């Protein structure tokens, strides 16, 4: 009984973490959301300038809306497309405010373990609660005891490197002053000055790379000398630019067409089959070197958009069951394998697929997908609905599927893939990567973690 009276710790006050807290409240279970940042949706705010592919109707959670209703919150028009800033300001922060003291800011989780048991100890393990180690904003340390842990911390903090083998290219770290891992906000004068009139390499071939190419092409029309060098690890085929006008997510299709136009109009040069091995200095510029020995002409800046991966370091004392390729829960991995699935073909799933050998700990949201890029916000909301039902002992509800995914159009072999059945997971591709953020123009819907 003592263990059952403890709170459920939720790591991360992003869309899925806050939805988990709302579902816990609805179930009469006390949540404690631990957020490293100073406000809700810290990661989302870092791409505040970007629009989502999905409309408002598909990026809010039903339990969260119930919690918000008594506060006077007004639901945005479900047919419009929010930016990351809209999502954070009009929904996520109000939701966190409604949860009140159940959300703690400036609390960075540094470790999770069974109380009094390291990873190798079996005796009495399942009877012990979890101990969550945190570092506070002032540098102090605390320990929190929890009955269960839902890790919804996402993958935004761990972008993929430039190196084609999954590790940083030689010289990549020392060139950090000229390398970015984010889609640039060219409305920011300082960011604009960094790329205006300069030659920039864009590494990657997913939605984020399309966005960067489109934005740099727009900049080139205003700032002479601006040029993008598009680095692809594979070749350019019929489906490289996505579904185009056949895509049932118009914003996603339009984005691919804009990237294609950037190349055809000469604002970007495509370099195919280039797997980066090293980054060398050439005076004040950078030279990318491929595994096959090719050396590109010097560039001023590099934008690396090769996907994201989960940070599992603070979970090292837990017994997790993870797929050896995707770093996703073992039972979930076959359902989200980007070599087979797109966001519209991932079957809705819940606690059964998200469970680990360590009972009571769950990865939810984008973190549950490991390195797979096909996550949907709606999928994350369904995950935490199922998890919280299981924690409440309502196993029938936990096993029930309550989500029907929207039709997402050409997302497979004819979507954001190189060839039919060949996903661009090593390029940060996939159809609805989160947060593979992008913007296709003022007022037009674009893509991000919500897809």
Contact 235, 273 (CB under 8 A): yes
Q: Which residue has the higher pLDDT, 420 or 305?
A: 305
What pLDDT shows up at residue 206?
A: 84
What pLDDT shows up at residue 412?
A: 32
Residue 435: asked if its preceding bond is cis (omega within 30°), the reply is: yes
pLDDT category, 306, cuts 50, 70, 90?
A: very high
What pLDDT shows up at residue 338?
A: 80
Whether residue 376 is predicted with pLDDT greater than 60 in this model: the reply is yes
What pLDDT shows up at residue 441?
A: 29
Tell me the per-residue pLDDT of 230-281, one tens digit each, with 9 for 90 and over.
Answer: 999 988 877 777 766 666 666 677 888 899 999 999 999 999 999 999 999 9
Q: Mean pLDDT throughout 111-138?
A: 96
Percent of the chain scoring above 90 in pLDDT: 75
Contact 52, 433 (CB under 8 A): no
213-227, 347-361, 425-439: range with lowest mean pLDDT: 425-439
- Cα 280 from Cα 376, distance rounded (Å): 38
Containing 269, the helix (H) or strand (E) segment is: strand 268-271
- Cα 220 from Cα 121, distance rounded (Å): 60
Whether residue 422 is predicted with pLDDT greater than 50 in this model: the reply is no
Tell me the per-residue pLDDT of 333-350, one tens digit each, with 9 for 90 and over.
Answer: 999 888 776 555 667 799
**Mean pLDDT score of the chain:** 87
Which residue has tokens 């769950």?
A: 362
Q: Mean pLDDT throughout 437-441?
A: 30
Q: Which residue has the higher pLDDT, 17 or 412?
A: 17
- Cα 450 from Cα 265, distance rounded (Å): 31
Burial 59-93 (b: 16+ CB within 10 A, else e): bbbebbeebbeeeebeebeeeebbbbbbbbbbbbb
For residue 360, is it left (φ>0), alpha (ψ between -120 and 50) or beta? left
Tell me the per-residue pLDDT of 166-199, one tens digit each, with 9 for 90 and over.
Answer: 999 999 999 999 999 999 999 999 999 999 999 9
> In sequence order, which residues have a C-beta less than 8 Å from that of residue 219 and are 6 or more positions away?
186, 192, 195, 196, 226
What pLDDT shows up at residue 4?
A: 84
Taken in order of first residue, the domains within the chain and their CATH numbers are: 8-157+308-399 (3.50.50.60), 176-304 (3.50.50.60)
Q: Which residue has the higher pLDDT, 256 or 218?
A: 218
Whether residue 6 is predicted with pLDDT greater than 50 in this model: the reply is yes
10-24, 203-217, 313-327: range with lowest mean pLDDT: 203-217
């Amino acid at each position: 009984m003592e263990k059952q009276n403890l709170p459920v710790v939720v790591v991360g006050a992003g869309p899925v973490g806050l939805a988990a807290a709302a579902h816990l409240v609805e179930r009469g279970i006390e949540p404690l959301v631990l957020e490293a940042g100073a406000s809700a949706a810290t990661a989302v705010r870092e791409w505040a300038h970007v629009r989502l592919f999905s409309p408002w109707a598909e990026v809010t959670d039903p339990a969260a809306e119930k919690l918000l209703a008594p506060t006077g919150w007004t639901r945005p028009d479900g047919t419009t497309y929010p930016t990351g800033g809209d999502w954070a300001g009009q929904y996520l922060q109000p939701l966190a405010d409604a949860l009140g003291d159940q959300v703690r800011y400036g609390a960075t989780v540094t470790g999770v373990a069974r109380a009094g048991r390291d990873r190798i100890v079996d005796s009495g393990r399942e009877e012990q609660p979890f101990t969550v180690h945190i570092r506070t904003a002032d540098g102090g340390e605390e320990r929190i005891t929890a009955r269960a842990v839902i890790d919804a911390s996402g993958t935004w903090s761990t972008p993929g490197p430039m190196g084609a083998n999954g590790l940083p290219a030689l010289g990549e770290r020392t060139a950090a002053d000229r390398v970015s891992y984010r889609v640039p906000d060219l409305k920011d004068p300082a960011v604009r000055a960094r790329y205006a009139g300069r030659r920039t390499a864009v590494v990657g071939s997913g939605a984020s790379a399309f966005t960067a190419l489109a934005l740099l092409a727009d900049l080139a029309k205003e700032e002479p000398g601006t040029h993008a060098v598009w680095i692809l690890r594979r070749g350019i085929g019929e489906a490289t630019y996505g579904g185009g006008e056949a895509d049932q997510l118009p914003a996603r299709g339009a984005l691919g067409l804009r990237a294609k136009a950037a190349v055809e109009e000469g604002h970007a040069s495509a370099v195919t089959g280039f797997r980066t091995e090293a980054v060398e200095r050439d005076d004040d510029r950078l030279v990318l070197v491929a595994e096959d020995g090719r050396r590109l002409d010097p560039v001023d800046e590099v934008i690396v958009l090769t996907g994201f991966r989960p940070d599992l370091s603070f979970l090292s004392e837990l017994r997790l069951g993870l797929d050896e390729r995707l770093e996703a829960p073992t039972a979930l991995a076959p359902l989200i394998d980007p070599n087979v699935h797109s966001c519209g073909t991932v079957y809705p799933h819940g606690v059964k697929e998200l469970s680990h050998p360590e009972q009571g700990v769950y990865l939810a949201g984008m973190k549950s997908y490991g390195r797979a890029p096909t996550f949907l916000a709606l999928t994350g909301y369904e995950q935490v609905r199922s998890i919280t039902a299981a924690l409440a002992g309502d196993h029938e509800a936990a096993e029930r599927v309550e989500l029907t995914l929207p039709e997402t159009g050409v997302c497979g072999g004819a979507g954001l893939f190189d060839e039919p059945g060949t996903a661009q997971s090593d390029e940060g591709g996939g159809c609805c990567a989160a947060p593979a953020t992008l913007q296709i123009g003022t007022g037009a819907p674009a893509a991000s973690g919500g897809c």
